[in-house]
Amino acid sequence: MYELCDDMSYRAIVDELIEVPEAADTRDTEAVKRIATAYLKLLFPQVRSAGDITAREFKRYCLDRARKMRDTIKYQLRMIDVKYRGKDIPTFSVRPDSEEVG
């Protein structure tokens, strides 16, 4: 598992699977992608391409959890500083063309 730390192929898979809204904040986008990549490495180390994981599994075990973790951070920031109020993280989704065939 430690050797996966330097493996950038998982980030490429996440970039391929996640659809980012146009008005998404870069900091939130990068945070969600990094967390989703970590979940992908930990939970699905056998994945070598976007076709090796179903969109449903990726969304449920990687993307949704990453978004929830980032949402927790944003909530804590809103508690600390007024300038973060009213700023929610965008709704990321799995690309429709990344549906797995089998």
pLDDT score for 102: 43
Is the residue at 9 inside a domain? no
State the total domains in the chain. Answer: 1
Is the residue at 18 inside a domain? no
Mark the ranges of the chain whose per-residue pLDDT is less than 70: 97-102
Is the residue at 14 inside a domain? no
**SS3 string of 20-60?**
CCCCCCHHHHHHHHHHHHHHHHHHCCCCCCHHHCCHHHHHH
pLDDT score for 97: 64
pLDDT score for 78: 87
Residue 65 φ/ψ, nearest 5 degrees: -70, -40
Supply the range of the domain harboring residue 51. Answer: 25-95
pLDDT score for 101: 43
Nearest in space to 61 (alpha carbons), one of 101, 3, 7, 17? 17
